[in-house]
Amino acid sequence: MSSTDTKYMKRALTLARKGIGKTTPNPAVGCVIVRDGRIVGEGWHKKAGTPHAEVHALAMAGNAARGADVYVTLEPCCHTGKTPPCSDALIRAGVKRVVAGMADPNPLVNGGGLNALRRAGIETVSGVLEDDCRAINRPFIKHVTSGHPFVTYKCAITLDGKVATVTGDSRWISCDESRKFVHRLRSRCDAVMVGVDTIITDNPQLTVRHVKGRNPLRIIVDSTLRTPCSVGVLSGPLAKMTIIATTETNPRIHRRYQKSGATVLVCRRLDGRVDLADLWGHLGKRGIQSILLEGGSRLAAEALKQGLIDECIFFYAPKVIGSDGFSPFAVTGITGMAQAIPFTNLKVQRMGSDVMVTTRPEKPCLPA
C-alpha cells in the first residue's frame, strides 16, 4: 500500500460517507479518478437506482479517464441491476489501474468485478484502507451475507446504570448534544425499533428532528397488539411508515391498525412473544439493512440474549437515580460473573456533558 494509494482512498472514503443512510439497499461508495497526480473526476453513490460512484466520477473526468488510476471504496459491480455494470464502464473508459478498498461480498459480484477488469488488461489492487471501507458499509455487509439487518442498540443511562426512574420517567437523562447525535443516527438508519411498552409509556414520535435527514421506518414489537390506535406513530402520513410486529393472527384486529396505513407483520412465536430471529429475517427480506433499537429493556434483553445486537451505544449522563430505577437490559438468571455477557471493541468519547461508549457484545452464554 503506497502513500499515494492511501491519500486518494481517503478522499474516496470522504465522498462515500456522504451517501451513508441514503443508498439502501446499495452500499455507500466513493470514487476518485487520478491522472498525472491530479484528481480529474470524483463522485459518490447518492441513491439506489441512480448512477453509481464510478459513473459520476467518469462523467466528470471525461476523456481524462483514459490511462488514469481509479480509487473506489468497494469493488466495481459486474452485474446489471437498476444500472449497468460499473466494471464495463471503466473498461470502456480505458482506465489503466483500479484500486479497490475492499472486495464486494455480494454474491452477484464477489470478485467478479475485479476479474473482469483484469481480463481487460487493467491492473487491479484490493484491500487499501479495507477496515475503514468496511466500517462505512457494515449494514450492507451484514445484510448481503446473512439476510439480517445490522442492529445498533442505543440508550441514555445514568452513572448507576439506569435508563428510567421507577415511574418510567426518562426525559431527559442525556444532554442536548447526545440527543442531537441520536437523531443523526436515526437519519442514517433504515428503521428505528421499540417495544410496545415504550410506545404506551412514552408515546414517542420516532422521527428525525434537530438535524436534517429522512425519517426512518418505525417498527413496534407488540406480540399481542396492545398498541393504542391513538399513539403518534399511527397518526398522520407517517403511519404508512410504521410496521407492527406481532404474533396475533386475528385479521379483525389487524384491520384496526391497517386503517391508519400501518403494516402488521405476523412472526413466529417464541415463549409467547415475537421470535426476534424470525422478525430479523422478515425485515431483511424487506430490504431493511440497518435498525436503531431504542428500547425497551425487555426487548433489548431478548435481542442481546439471542445474539441479535451488533453494536451498543451508551450515553452516560452525570446523574444518579438509585436502586429503584430500570436497567437497560431486563436480563435475569445471572448468578456468577462467569455468566456475564462480555463486550469488546470499547470506544469512549465526550458528548457534551455526557460520555458516549460504543461497544460490541460478544456471543452471550446465558442460562435458559
Distance CA 337, CA 340 (A): 5
Which among 42, 54, 294, 302 is annotated as catalytic? 54
**Bridge partners, 348 (sequence order):** 357
pTM: 0.89
Alpha-carbon distances, residue 186 vs 168, 203, 242, 263, 307 (angstroms): 23, 17, 14, 20, 22
Q: What is the pLDDT of residue 338?
A: 86
pLDDT on residue 326: 86
How much is the pLDDT for 238?
A: 83
Q: Dmax of the chain from CA atoms?
A: 69
Q: Is the peptide bond before 25 cis (omega within 30 degrees of 0)?
A: yes
Q: Which residues pair with 38 in a beta bridge?
A: 35
Please spell the DSSP secondary structure of 30-77, one letter per residue.
EEEEEETTEEEEEEE--STTS--HHHHHHHHHGGGGTT-EEEESS---
Per-residue pLDDT, 115: 94
Amino acid 83: pLDDT: 82
Per-residue exposure over 325-359, b if at least 16 CB sit within 10 Å of its own CB, e if not: bbbbbebeeeeeeeeebeeeeeeeeebbebbbbeb
Q: What local confidence, expressed as pLDDT, does residue 363 receive?
A: 67
Q: In what order do the strands lie in the sheet with 30-35?
A: 38-44, 30-35, 69-72, 97-100, 123-126
- Report the SS3 class of residue 20: coil
| Entry field: residues in the chain | 368
Nearest to 7 by CA among 103, 99, 94: 99
Q: What is the pLDDT of residue 195?
A: 95
> Which set of grid coordinates corresponds to residue 179?
440527543
Q: What is the pLDDT along the chain (368 residues), one digit of tens a residue?
A: 689 999 999 999 999 999 998 898 899 999 999 999 999 999 999 998 899 999 999 999 999 999 999 999 999 999 877 788 999 999 999 999 999 999 999 988 888 999 999 999 999 999 999 999 999 999 999 999 999 999 999 999 999 999 988 887 788 899 999 999 999 999 999 999 999 999 998 898 899 998 888 899 999 999 999 999 999 999 888 899 999 999 999 999 999 999 999 999 999 999 999 999 999 999 999 999 999 999 888 999 999 989 999 999 999 999 998 888 888 898 888 888 888 888 999 999 999 999 999 999 986 444 43
* Plot region of 122 (φ>0 → left; ψ -120 to 50 → alpha; else → beta): beta
Please state, in angstroms and rounded to a whole number, the distance separating the CA atoms of residues 230 and 324.
30
For residue 229, give the H/E element and its range.
Answer: none
Residues 6+ apart with CB under 8 A from 215: 186, 187, 207, 208, 238, 241
Q: Answer yes or no: are the C-beta atoms of 120 and 93 closer than 8 Å.
A: no
54 is catalytic: yes
pLDDT at position 236: 84
